Amino acid sequence: MRTIYVGHGGVASASLLMPPDGETRNAIVTEIAVWPEHRGKGWGSEILKEICRDADAEGITLMLSVEPGPGGLSAEGLAAWYGRYGFQRALNDGTVMIRLTQSSTTR
């Protein structure tokens, strides 16, 4: 699984942290960013779908912290967006979300 995903000439990107041991089957999505003038075109969704496909293919659980960026979705909007891709709230405060590996029959 890659740690950097870039789309549309660098206008949209995502980064992940992977454990150095190479055996732990999880990754932290640290950022998904789209230049403000290009938001709403589905490019962030495109990158997140690719990350989820790669994670499923390799049996990797994804984790992230819901932290809205300037000019982006609200915390609730961002959590709902991640929820559309299989992420679920891991803590009562809703800031941490997790996505377990999904088989092709559950997607």
Per residue in 53-66, pLDDT (tens digit) is 999 999 999 999 99
Residue 106: per-residue pLDDT: 53
CATH superfamily of 4-99: Gcn5-related N-acetyltransferase (GNAT) (3.40.630.30)
64 burial level (CB within 10 Å; 0-12, 13-18, 19+): buried
What does the pLDDT read at residue 70?
86
- For residue range 29-53, list pLDDT tens digits in order: 999 999 999 999 999 999 999 999 9
Residues whose CB falls within 8 Å of the CB of residue 30, separated by 6 or more in sequence, listed in order = 15, 16, 17, 64
Supply 93's token pair.
């405060």
For residues 77-89, give the mean pLDDT.
96
- Cα 1 from Cα 45, distance rounded (Å): 18
Query: What is the pTM (predicted TM-score) of this model?
Result: 0.90
